[in-house]
Chains A and B, each alone.
Chain A
Amino acid sequence: MFKEDVLQEIKTKKEEWERETVNKLIAKSPEMKGEFKTASDIVVERLYTPEDIKDIDYLKDLGFPGEYPFTRGIQPTMYRGRFWTMRQYAGFGTAEESNRRYKYLLEQGQTGLSIAFDLPTQIGYDSDHPLAQGEVGKVGVAIDSLEDMEVLFDGIPLDKVSTSMTINAPAAIIWAMYLAVAEKQGVSFDKLEGTIQNDILKEYIARGTYIFPPKPSMRLITDTFEFGSKYVPKWNTISISGYHIREAGATAVQEVAFTLADGIAYVEAAVKKGLDPNVFGQRLSFFFNAHNDFLEEIAKFRAARRLWAKIMRERFGVTNPRAMMLRFHTQTAGSTLTAQQPLNNIVRVTIQALAAVLGGTQSLHTNSYDEALALPTEESVRIALRTQQIIAYESGVTNTIDPLAGSYYIEWLTNKIEEEAKRLIDKIDEIGGMVEAIEKGFVQKEIQDSAYRYQLEVEKGDRIVVGVNRFQIEEDLSKLNLLKVDPSIAEKQVKRLQALKQKRDNIRVKSVLEDLRKAAMDESVNLMPYFLEAVKAYATEGEICDVLRDVFGVYVEKIIL
C-alpha cells in the first residue's frame, strides 16, 4: 500500500524522532510503565506508522463491506441502511412478568426480543424438580411447557418481532415450543426471524448448562440446522458464542480462537451429516463480548470476520458469500461491572458498546449498571437501552462504515489478533479438534490460567479497576434500589404444572414420549418433528428431557486446574 522509498524514509525519521525527541523526554520524565499491553497481554508500541502495516493489500485484506473477506463489515450499507438490532436480554420470574417486560422494552424502542430462561429450564428440569429448588424464576423465566410459552408471547405477534432465545442443551425443545406458538398465532414458519443460542460446546467450557454428552448434543444441533434450512429459513439455528468464554477469563485472542474453533466443529458435524455448508452456513450466527480495551475490541471483531470468511472458503470450500459472513450479536462484558460505585458502570458499558458498534456488530445488548448486584430494574435497563440509542442517533459514528479502518494501530492489531487466533486454532486441530480438546481439558486450562493471571494482576495493582483497587470510596450499597425476584414464583409454577398435568391428555403425552424415545435411539432420525408433537401434547420440558437423558446419558464435568 505504500511506496518502498517513502517507508524507508518514515523508518529513518521515526528512529530519529525516538533518539532525539522521545529518549530525551523519557530521561527526564519516564513513561508510566515499562511495557504497555492490551487486556489480552499483546504488547502495544508507543506509535504505529505505515511501516507496521506495509504488507497489507487493501483489496485482498480489507476489501469492501459486504464482500469477502468482510473485514470492513458484512453489509454494503451497514448502519446507514439500518442500525444494529437493540436487543436487551430479559426475563425473570413468571411468563406473565416477562411478557410485561418485553412489551415495555418494545414500547421503549427495542427492536428485537431476547429471552432469558431460568436455570432449571436451561438444564431441562421442571419447576417441581428437587434440583430446581431455590432456582425457579431467578435468572430468567421459568418455562415448563407450551402453556408457559403461550403466556410469554401473549399479545406479541411473532411475525413482527425477531426473537433471540438463550437456550442451549434443550434448545431444540424450546424452539419447538416457539414454533408451536407461531402455529397457533397463524404465522407460517417461513416468516419467523430469530435465533436460538444452541451452542453446547461452550457450555462444557465456560457456562455449565449442559445436559447430555457431546456426541448426542451435536446430533440435536445438526437436527436443528437441517430443520431450519428446510422449514424456517430466516432463523439462525445457532449463535456460536465467545461471550461466555471471555467472561470465564479468556483473552481476546482466545475468545476468537475458541469461538471459531467451535464453529469449525459444528460445520464439520453438519457436513458429516450430509448438510451443505453453502446453505446452513448462512444461518450460523455468532455472539461476542465487548470488553474494556476499546481499540483491541474493535480490532478483534474485524479479525474474527476475516478469519471466519477464510475458514469457510478455504477449509470448507464454501462458495456462497452469504455463508462466509460472520454475523454477530454482542453483549457488553458483565464481568467488568463493579459492585462498588455502580453508576460508573454506565461509563464502562458506553465505551464497550461503542467498541461493538465501531466493530460492526449486527445486534447489541448493553448491561445495566446494577448487574453486579442483581437483575436490572426497569429504570436501569432503560438507561442501558438509551446508551445504544444515543450512540446510534447522536454520536455520528454510524454515518460511515468501518471508520477506524486505515488506522495504523487498528490494522496492525487486527492482523495480530488474526495471526494469534489462527495459531491457537491450529493447535486445537493438532489435538484433534475442539471436542477432543475439551475432553482433554486443554481449552478449560487455557481459560483458567488467563483468569487466574488476571486476578493476580488486579490484586498486585498492575491492573487497575476504578472503584475497586483504586479510587475507592466508603459507600453504603444497601440503599440501592435493586430488583427482587418474587419468591412465591416457584410455588405458583408448581401449582400451574400440577394443574396442567390434570387437564392435558395424558395418554397422548405417553404416546408422543414413546415415539420420541424410539426416534432418539436412531441417530439418523431428525428429532424436531417429534419435539413438535410432544410440546403440542403439553408434555413438559422435564419429561421430554428425561427421555433424552435415558437414551443419551448425562455429562459430568472434567476438572483440570
Chain B
Amino acid sequence: MKELLDRAISGDPIAIARVITLVENGEEYGIRLLQDLYPLTGKAHYIGVTGAPGVGKSTLIDKLIWHLRSRGEKVGVVAVDPSSPFTGGAFLGDRLRMQRHATDPGVFIRSMGSRGALGGLARATADVVKVLDACGFNFVIVETVGAGQNEVDIVKTADTVILVIVPGMGDEVQIIKAGIMEIGDIFVVNKSDKDGAQRLAKELEAWIEFGYEGSGWIPPVVMTIAEDGTGVDRLVSEIDRHRAYLNDSGELKRRREKRVMEEINVALGESIKRRIRDVLEDEVMQRYVSEVLEGRRDPYSVVEEILGKLTKGGV
C-alpha cells in the first residue's frame, strides 16, 4: 500500500487513478489510503461548478484549464454524471469537451457516476478531491450537473462555488428554489451572445444585491462565451479574488471547519451503518420487521434495541 501511495504522490497517473478507484469504492483499503493521504491535503483550491445540463460547464472548464495551465498550475477535474437509478450504469461524457488536455501531465481528469447513493456521492466526490489535492494538483475542479439537493451537497464543501446559467432556459426559478443560489460564490452567464443575456445578468445582480447585503463577499456576475473563451480570463481573476478574500477574511477557515464537521458526521453515520450491517443478521432484522408489522412494537424501540446491542457488543 505504501508503494501505491508513494507512486501516487510522486505523480504517477496509474497510481493516482488506482487510489481514486479504491477511495471511490469506499472499501476499507480506500479509507486507510485516505487516512495516509490526509496530512497532505488542504493545499489545493477546490472549485465546484454546477448548473443545468447544456449550459456549457464542460466547455467552460476546458477553457479554465487552459488558463490555469498557462500560468503553470496543475489542475485536477472530477466530472460527476448521474448513474441510471435502474441499472446502476452511467454514461460519462463530460471529459469529451476537455480532451485536448488529456495528454497534458499537469492535468488529471476523472469521470464519476453518481452510483445512486444520495449522501454517499458527496462524500465520495470530496474524497476523490482529497486524493487529487494530496497528489499535487493545486486546483481541483468538480463539475456536477443540475441544481438539486444532490448537487448542493456536492459543491457546498468547495472553496469557490461557481453557478453557470444561460439565458432563455427559464430555469432560474428552479435554481433559486433549490437553494443553489445561496451557496454561489461566482455566477456565470454563459452563451452571453444570446438574446436575454444582459437582462439575465441584471436580474441576477439585483437578486444578489438583495440577498447578500452586508455579507463579506458579494458574488460577481461574469459574462462568458465558453465556446470561444470570451470572459474566461475575467472568471479566473474572480476566482483568484475569491481565494484571496477567503484567506484574508478567515472565511476559508470557517468553511473548512464546516467541511470537517460535515465529514466527521457523515463518516460517523456511514461507519455506524456499516457496523450495524455487519452485526445484524438478516433473520434478526426480518423478525423486527414482522413484529412492527404485527403491531407488537414500534420502529423506534427497534432502533433503541439495535443501538443498545451495538454499544454493548463493544464493536
Question: A553 near B: Cβ within 8 Å?
Answer: yes
- In the complex the two chains form, is B91's CB within 8 Å of A561's CB? yes
A553 to B93: give the CA distance in the assembly, Å: 23
Q: Is A321 among interface residues, defined by CB-CB distance under 8 A?
A: no
List, in ascending order, chain B residues with CB within 8 A of A561's CB.
91, 93
Contact between chains at A553 and B228 (CB < 8 Å): yes
Query: CB distance B54 to A557 under 8 Å?
Result: no
Question: Does B259 have its Cβ within 8 Å of any Cβ on chain A?
Answer: no
A557 engages B96 (CB within 8 Å): yes
Q: Which of A424-468 contact B (CB under 8 A)?
A: 440-441
- A559 at interface by CB-CB < 8 Å: yes
B67 at the interface (CB under 8 A from A): no
| A556 contacts the other chain (CB 8 A) | yes
Contact of A559 among B93, B227, B228 (CB under 8 A): B93
B interface residue count range (under 10 / 10 to 19 / 20 to 34 / 35 or more) = under 10
CA distance A441 to B55 in the complex (A): 12
Which residues does chain A contribute within 8 Å of B227, judged by CB atoms?
213
- Give the residues from 210 to 235 in chain A that come closer than 8 angstroms, CB to CB, to chain B: 213
B59 cross-chain contacts in A, Cβ below 8 A: 556
- For A555, the closest partner residue in chain B by CB is B227
- Which residues from chain B contact A440 at a C-beta distance below 8 Å? 54
State in angstroms the CA–CA spacing of A561 and B54 once bound together.
12
- A559–B96 CB distance below 8 A: yes
Taking a contact as CB atoms under 8 Å apart, the answer to whether B97 and A556 are in contact is yes
Q: Which of A440, A441, A553, A559 has the most CB of B within 10 A?
A: A559
How many whole Å from A551's CB to the nearest CB in chain B? 13
Assembly CA distance A536 to B146 (angstroms): 54
Bound Cα distance from A557 to B95, whole angstroms: 12
Give A463 Cβ to nearest chain B Cβ, in Å. 22
| B-chain residues with CB within 8 Å of residue A559 when the two chains form the complex | 93, 96
Q: How far is the CA of A441 from the CA of B54 in the complex (A)?
A: 9
Expressed in whole angstroms, the minimum distance between the Cβ of B94 and any Cβ of chain A is: 9
B-facing mask of A378-414, CB < 8 A → 1, else 0? 0000000000000000000000000000000000000
Instruction: Report the nearest A residue to B96, measured CB to CB.
Output: A559
In the complex, how many angstroms separate the beta carbon of B54 from the nearest chain A beta carbon?
Answer: 7
* B contact residues around A557 at 8 Å (CB): 96
Closest chain B residue, CB of each to CB of A432: B168
Which residues of the other chain, A, contact B96 by a CB distance below 8 angstroms?
A: 557, 559
CB distance from B109 to the nearest CB of A (A): 15
**Chain B positions within 8 Å of A553 at CB level:** 228
Interface residues in B85-107 (C-beta closer than 8 Å to A)? 91, 93, 96-97
Q: Which residues of B contact A213 (CB under 8 A)?
A: 227
Q: Considering only CB atoms, which chain A residue lies closest to B59 in the complex? A: A556
* Chain A residues with CB below 8 A from B91, complex form: 561
Interface mask (A521-561 → B, CB under 8 Å = 1, otherwise 0): 00000000000000000000000000000000100110111
Contact with A along B228-247 (1 / 0, CB 8 A): 10000000000000000000
A557 to B228, CA, bound (A): 14
For B100, the closest partner residue in chain A by CB is A556
On chain A, the residues within 8 Å of B97 by CB distance are 556
Residue of B nearest to A556 (CB): B97
How many angstroms between the C-alpha atoms of A164 and B228 in the bound complex? 35
Please, what's the 1-or-0 string for B70-88, where 1 marks a CB less than 8 Å from any CB in chain A? 0000000000000000000
Distance in Å: Cβ of A444 to nearest Cβ of chain B: 12
Min CB distance A41 to B, Å, is 23
* Bound CA–CA A559/B91 (angstroms): 11
Chain B contacts for A556, CB-based, 8 A:
59, 97
Assembly CA distance A441 to B53 (angstroms) = 11
A558 CB to closest chain B CB, in angstroms?
8
A300 to B138, CA, bound (A): 58
Complex Cα gap A561–B97 (Å): 14
Give the shortest distance, in Å, between B20 (CB) and chain A (any CB): 23
Q: Report how far A440 CA is from B97 CA in the complex, Å.
A: 15
Closest to A441 in B: B54
B56: nearest chain-A partner, CB-CB: A558
Q: How far does the alpha carbon of A561 sit from the alpha carbon of B53 in the complex, in Å?
A: 12
CB-CB contacts of B134-164 with A at 8 A, as 1s and 0s? 0000000000000000000000000000000
Given contacts A556-B59, A559-B96, could you give 10 more A-B pairs where the C-beta distance is less than 8 Å? Answer: A213-B227, A440-B54, A441-B54, A553-B228, A556-B97, A557-B96, A559-B93, A560-B54, A561-B91, A561-B93
Could you show 12 A-B contacts with beta carbons less than 8 Å apart?
Answer: A213-B227, A440-B54, A441-B54, A553-B228, A556-B59, A556-B97, A557-B96, A559-B93, A559-B96, A560-B54, A561-B91, A561-B93
Shortest beta-carbon contacts, A-B, top 7: A559-B93, A561-B91, A559-B96, A556-B97, A561-B93, A553-B228, A440-B54
